[in-house]
């Protein structure tokens, strides 16, 4: 069965294949996928021959025709699925990139490179029995998962024919079933089946090659002892502590990784707190310790990111609950029931004296009557009488909420209970189950108290009142509750709602600083995509454009350092220019075309170097090489992307350094035109 150029979106299933006398061409098989795409091959049986096979035999092969009538195939095999098939009594089960390395001088490869392509193909849940080579992969960007092998000499082979074999994912397979071929001696026993793979690469030293595998489960610990570079990495590379990608020698990065990484990073750590001076308590819902019971996450500890204290609760029936995906940005928050839940911080010298700025991101579950008395944050005197047990004053300093008419309330009281209560106004539409930012400043020097309330739409209400608040001694803190009286430690005035983040400073923040911290909290909890400030990025190395998107040029330059030019048969080279466009509309995202400073060296069987020429290499959004074009003895000077032909997808326009004319490329065919002007 032969599925050729422009053949796609087919289903091949419930067939039985048996080889009795067919003698195929080397890259052929019972099912041949020559540039075919989006095809599902499933529930097929490849059964044992009635005769002892005296010839090469394979079940399924994939390749891109290297050249035919001076035309290069428009596409390579991609987005095919091979699953739930049973392969018996074959030399090869599934062969990906079966024409990789074929001699162009014999087979009319117009690229004169001997390259084959096949990417985004999935080989999963298949059974291989009495097969010599189970799955052989010669190209980048494919997935092998959950296949079984019985009496198979080499279950899975990764054959780096030229300089690199990257971005292949292997999951749920035994590492001992994976073999690596980088030189002829690795497969000399089976070489009669794979003559193509040795026709164009015999002068490449193993030490110049690179294997790269992505794996998430069931694999790992691959056994490769050769001299080529070997990299094993997960599909998404994130350092959990730093929330940044690892660009070290043990990892590889690509455009798709960066996109996923940026999304992940924005969700968990989109911003750095812009104001750190005087910060003595920082509770963030991404750093909460829980114990689970009946599927509910009860909070046992809340780590203080300032490094000074820890909020905690050890009484089982007083533990609040961690609720996930509750903030407008999809983050978590700690739910207090308004009955007996709270967290407490031990007495600590960080809370000495009485000048503070308090901030909290919160939502009310149900409004209380009147102004409300629920404590978001409560600071009380730790010890009014050293000879007696520790007591906490009910309202030394507190951030109070709960009612529908007077949010937020800032308390500042003396040790005798005298002081002030300052009510902020409420923004329009103030409602239950909606997140806001509460803030208050208490200045023991000027005896001035101020409260703020910030909505998700930037509405800010505030109130200022002079007071006689004087801070003395150490304070203790509770989150979600206060105490019942000046001389009691009994918890009271419970908060009914969610708290996503708490910050306490031991100084008065300026209005500008409060605005900056509020913006940080708003963007983080209300809208993680809006108002991003590049200066706050941990990954701002790659972000510099005015609209705060990925600086593609800077990132590509970095990325290309990780995919060296020697993959194009060169001793070196740097990118001169890139063009980004939708060159292959059937693939997700845009592709990147790159021109290079160094020529490609053409390798022949008779000598190491036969000729040199310049080429344009196209990578997809995952960094996988998917095509080459523009072979020229003259260096390319500039390239651009655009819909020059007003048809589906974009084309590549290129200008030679020594020519007045330009060229556009589409589907592997180029034509000259003279209306390109280089600036």
Q: What is the 3-state secondary structure (H, E, C) of 309-349?
A: CEEECCCHHHCCEEECCCCCCCCCEEEEECCCCCEEECCCH
Domain membership flag for residue 272: no
The answer to whether the beta carbons of residues 92 and 63 sit under 8 Å apart is no
Output the CA–CA distances (angstroms, integers) from residue 292 to 295, 304, 317, 499, 600, in the order listed: 6, 21, 13, 19, 60
- Strand, helix or coil at 455? coil
Q: Residue 416's beta-bridge partner residues? A: none
List, for residues 405-446, the tens digit of each pLDDT value. Answer: 767 877 777 655 666 777 787 777 788 899 999 888 888 776
Tokens of 461: 């209400």
Within a domain: residue 328? yes
| Under 8 Å between Cβ of 296 and 317 | no
Based on the fold, state whether residues 58 and 188 are members of the same structural domain. Answer: yes
Residue 679, domain member (yes or no): no
The residues pairing with 291 across neighbouring beta strands, listed in sequence order, are 298
Do residues 372 and 433 both lie within one domain? yes
Q: Are residues 549 and 572 in the same domain?
A: no
How many whole angstroms separate alpha carbon 166 and alpha carbon 178?
15
CA atoms within 13 A on the CB side of 470: 6
Query: For residue range 285-324, what is the model confidence (pLDDT) as tens digits?
Result: 878 889 988 889 999 888 888 877 677 777 777 899 999 8
Q: Are residues 357 and 485 in the same domain?
A: yes
Phi, psi dihedral angles at 507 (to 5 degrees): -150, 170
Half-sphere exposure of 632 (CA within 13 A, CB side): 23
User: Are 622 and 502 in a shared domain?
Assistant: no
Same domain, 433 and 572: no
**Structural domain that includes position 141:** 2-233
- 19 falls within a domain: yes
Torsion 640-642-645-649 (CA) sign: positive
End-of-domain residue from the set 491, 509, 531:
531
Domain boundary among 531, 554, 575: 531
Which tokens is 651 given?
């084309």
Residues 31 and 110 placed together within one structural domain of the fold: yes
| HSE-up (13 A, CA, CB side) for residue 21 | 0
Instruction: List the CATH number of the domain containing 356.
Output: 2.60.120.200
Residues 476 and 574 in one domain: no
Q: How confident is the model at residue 324, as a pLDDT?
A: 87
Is 134 found in the same domain as 68? yes
| Domain count across the chain | 4
Domain final position from 518, 543, 562: 562
Residue 274 lies in a domain: no
**CB within 8 A of 360, min separation 6: which ones?**
376, 377, 399, 437, 438, 439, 499, 501, 502, 503
* pLDDT (0 to 100) of residue 33: 95
Pair (211, 298) in one structural domain: no
Per-residue pLDDT, 417: 60
pLDDT at 190: 93
pLDDT at 158: 98
Question: 249 and 291 share a domain?
Answer: no
Q: How far apart are CA 42 and CA 83, in angstroms?
A: 5
Q: Answer whether residue 33 is part of any domain.
A: yes
Regarding whether 504 and 588 lie in a shared domain, the answer is no
Given a cut of 50, the residues of the chain with pLDDT beneath it are 237-252, 264-265, 267-270, 384-394, 528-572, 604-609, 667-679
CA 74 → CA 71, 301, 579, 616, distances in Å? 9, 59, 19, 15
Decide if 273 is inside a domain: no
Q: Would you give the DSSP letter of residue 574? A: -
* Domain-embedded: residue 678: no
The model's pTM is: 0.57
Indicate the DSSP class of residue 534: G
């Amino acid at each position: 069965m032969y599925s050729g150029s422009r053949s796609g979106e087919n289903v091949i299933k419930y067939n039985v294949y048996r080889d009795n006398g067919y003698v195929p061409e080397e890259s052929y098989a019972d099912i041949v996928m020559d540039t075919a795409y989006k095809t599902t091959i499933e529930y097929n049986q490849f059964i044992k021959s009635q005769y002892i096979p005296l010839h090469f035999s394979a079940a399924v092969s994939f390749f891109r025709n290297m050249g035919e009538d001076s035309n290069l195939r428009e596409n390579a095999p991609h987005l095919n699925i091979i699953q739930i098939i049973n392969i018996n009594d074959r030399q090869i089960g599934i062969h990906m990139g079966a024409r990789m390395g074929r001699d162009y001088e014999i087979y009319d490869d117009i690229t004169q490179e001997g390259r084959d392509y096949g990417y985004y193909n999935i080989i999963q849940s298949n059974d291989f029995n009495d097969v010599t080579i189970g799955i052989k992969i010669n190209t980048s960007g494919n997935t092998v998962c959950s296949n079984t092998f019985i009496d198979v000499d080499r279950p899975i082979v990764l054959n780096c024919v030229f300089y690199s074999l990257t971005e292949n994912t292997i999951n749920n397979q035994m590492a001992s079933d994976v073999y690596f071929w980088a030189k002829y001696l690795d497969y000399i026993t089976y070489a009669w089946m794979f003559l193509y793979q040795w026709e164009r690469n015999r002068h490449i030293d193993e030490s110049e090659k690179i294997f790269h595998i992505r794996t998430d489960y069931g694999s790992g610990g691959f056994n490769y002892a050769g001299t080529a570079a070997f990299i094993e990495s997960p599909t998404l590379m994130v350092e959990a502590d730093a929330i940044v990608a690892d660009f070290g020698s043990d990892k590889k990065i690509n455009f798709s990784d960066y996109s996923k990484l940026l999304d992940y990073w924005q969700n968990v750590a989109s911003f750095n707190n812009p104001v750190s001076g005087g910060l003595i308590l920082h509770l963030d819902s991404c750093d909460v310790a829980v114990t689970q019971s009946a599927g509910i996450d009860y909070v046992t500890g809340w780590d203080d990111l300032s490094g000074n204290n820890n909020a905690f609760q050890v009484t089982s029936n007083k533990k609040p609950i961690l609720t996930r995906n509750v903030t407008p940005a999809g983050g978590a928050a700690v739910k207090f029931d308004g009955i007996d839940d709270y967290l407490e911080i031990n007495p600590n010298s960080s809370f000495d004296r009485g000048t503070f700025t308090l901030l909290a991101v919160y939502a009310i579950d149900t409004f209380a009557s009147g102004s409300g008395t629920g404590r978001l944050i409560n600071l009380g005197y730790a010890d009014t009488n050293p000879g007696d047990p520790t007591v906490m004053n009910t309202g030394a300093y507190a951030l109070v909420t709960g009612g529908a008419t007077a949010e937020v309330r800032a308390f500042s009281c003396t040790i005798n209970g005298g002081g002030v209560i300052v009510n902020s106004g409420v923004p329009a539409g103030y409602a239950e189950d909606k997140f806001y930012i509460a803030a208050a400043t208490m200045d023991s020097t000027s005896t001035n108290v101020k409260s703020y309330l910030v909505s998700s739409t930037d509405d800010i209400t505030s109130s200022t009142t002079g007071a006689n608040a004087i801070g003395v001694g150490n304070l203790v803190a509770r989150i979600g509750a206060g105490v019942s009286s000046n001389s009691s430690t009994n918890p009271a005035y419970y908060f009914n709602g969610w708290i996503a983040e708490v910050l306490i400073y031991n100084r008065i923040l300026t209005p500008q600083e409060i605005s900056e911290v509020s913006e940080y909290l708003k963007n983080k909890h209300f809208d993680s995509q809006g108002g991003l400030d590049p200066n706050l990025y941990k990954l701002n190395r790659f972000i510099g454009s005015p609209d705060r998107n990925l600086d593609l040029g800077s990132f590509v330059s970095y990325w290309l350092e990780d995919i060296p030019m020697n993959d194009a048969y060169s001793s070196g080279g740097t990118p001169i220019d890139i063009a980004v466009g939708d060159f292959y509309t059937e693939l997700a995202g845009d592709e990147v075309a790159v021109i290079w400073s160094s020529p490609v060296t053409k390798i022949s069987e008779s000598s190491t170097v036969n000729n040199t020429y310049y080429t344009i290499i196209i990578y997809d959004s995952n960094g996988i090489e998917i095509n080459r074009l523009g072979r020229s003895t003259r260096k390319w000077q500039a390239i651009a992307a655009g819909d020059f032909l007003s048809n589906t997808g974009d084309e590549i326009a290129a200008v030679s350094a020594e020519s007045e004319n330009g060229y556009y490329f589409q589907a592997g065919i180029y034509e000259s035109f003279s209306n390109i002007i280089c600036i």
